[in-house]
Amino acid sequence: MRKFIWGLIIVIFGGGLIYLGFNSSKTLMTSDSGKITEKEFVADLKQSPAGQQEFANLVINKVLAKQYGGNVSKSDVQNAFDTQKAQYGDSFQSVLSSNNTNESQFKNNIKNNLIMKAAVKANYKVSDKQIEQAYKDYHQDTTVSLITAKDEDSSKKAIDALKSGDSWETVYKKYSTDKTYAKQNGQLPAFDSTSTSVDSAIQTAAFKIEKTGDYTTTPVTGSNGGFYVIQLNKTTNKPSMNSVRNKLSEQIVTSFLNDQKNTAKIQEIIGQILRKQNVSVKDTQLKNALNAYLTAGLSKAKK
């Protein structure tokens, strides 16, 4: 299972819903000690690190949405949302609550993340060497069945039952807590190693099974801490590199975004986009909020 919000993107898009545009005398709070107006709140907010970052978020979101928003459709956002929601299952609402967000806000974060990815993809050159390495690591379409056990002990009992000769169907019905694919006895749709909808731990274990019909003989621990038993149902021949080049390129860009070591490089890409759009901060209190982006890469360009 992937992180709740992409680890790196949260640095750029992880701000809340604060709106910096108001500057009125509207009262936000009253007490015996005095009141707080919108004007006071904004003045204080603009000086805080959180306020500075939120302003940077607003600027970046606006510019990237204008330039690259057309590359992200409503169905792209909905599909990504549905995938993440399915991964969290019954705990989805509690995860939203613990992150102080709701479905609408989470969906907006996903949209911003996808636009960010489109912007990086348009400005980050994937080399042939990277594609070749990704192809070496690539695993073709694979179909497996999955038992989602309630705990490690149950997963071990499921494996013991399979070893003793019980059918997969019988063991699945007895031990799997996830019934999403119950009609197929836990068989998932085919996936390859570029899939973002199947837990990476499940993928790794599945790709190691050599023979159709074989299953994992020790419990597989998922990224979310769950325990699984996997049976290999089918695998296809590895396609040519050219036929999966676009998939591999997408995977490389996603990995680039998720690697915190690339923060400076991503800031540089954003900075180039902002400068091309002539972004200029007029408010003196917020003047330095975008410095990390607007100055990124300039020293290299002068050399």
Whose CA is closest to 201, among 184, 220, 214, 182? 220
Domains, the chain: 40-125+249-298 (no CATH), 138-236 (3.10.50.40)
**261-284 pLDDT tens trace:** 999 999 999 999 999 999 999 999
Place of tokens 């009253």: 30
Any idea which of 63-72, 86-95, 275-284 has the lowest mean pLDDT?
A: 86-95
Q: Which of 41-50, 149-158, 220-229 has the highest mean pLDDT?
A: 149-158
Whether residue 12 contacts residue 116, with contact meaning beta carbons closer than 8 Å, is answered with: yes
Mean pLDDT of 241-252: 95
Name the residue with higher pLDDT: 300 or 35.
Answer: 35
pLDDT recorded at residue 143: 98
Whether residue 118 contacts residue 200, with contact meaning beta carbons closer than 8 Å, is answered with: no
The percentage of residues in the chain with a pLDDT greater than 90, rounded to a whole number, is 74
Task: Tell whether the model's pLDDT for residue 126 goes beyond 80.
Answer: yes
Tell me the torsion sign for CA atoms 35, 37, 39, 43: positive
pLDDT recorded at residue 9: 40
Name the residue with higher pLDDT: 300 or 192.
Answer: 192
Mean pLDDT of 131-149: 97
Task: Tell whether the model's pLDDT for residue 11 goes beyond 80.
Answer: no
Task: Tell whether the model's pLDDT for residue 86 goes beyond 80.
Answer: no
The percentage of residues in the chain with a pLDDT greater than 70, rounded to a whole number, is 91
Task: Tell whether the model's pLDDT for residue 100 goes beyond 70.
Answer: yes
Q: How far apart are the first and last CA of the chain?
A: 43
Question: Residues near 117 by Cβ (< 8 Å), separated by ≥ 6?
Answer: 253, 254, 257
Residue 143: phi, psi to the nearest 5?
A: -115, 125
**Confidence label for 131 from pLDDT (cuts 50, 70 and 90):** very high
Task: Tell whether the model's pLDDT for residue 124 goes beyond 60.
Answer: yes
Tell me the torsion sign for CA atoms 186, 188, 194, 198: negative
Mean pLDDT of 125-138: 96
Any idea which of 2-16, 116-130, 157-171, 241-255 has the lowest mean pLDDT?
A: 2-16
- Residues facing 110 on adjacent strands: none
- How many residues would you count in the chain? 303
Instruction: Tell me the C-alpha distance between 186 and 146, whole Å.
Output: 5
Instruction: Tell me the C-alpha distance between 68 and 64, whole Å.
Output: 6
For all residues of the chain together, what is the average pLDDT?
89
**Confidence label for 23 from pLDDT (cuts 50, 70 and 90):** low
pLDDT recorded at residue 107: 94
Mean pLDDT of 176-195: 94
Q: In whole angstroms, what separates CA 14 from the centre of its chain?
A: 12
Any idea which of 4-8, 74-78, 169-173, 236-240 has the lowest mean pLDDT?
A: 4-8
Mean pLDDT of 249-263: 91
pLDDT recorded at residue 301: 56
pTM: 0.73
Mean pLDDT of 47-61: 93
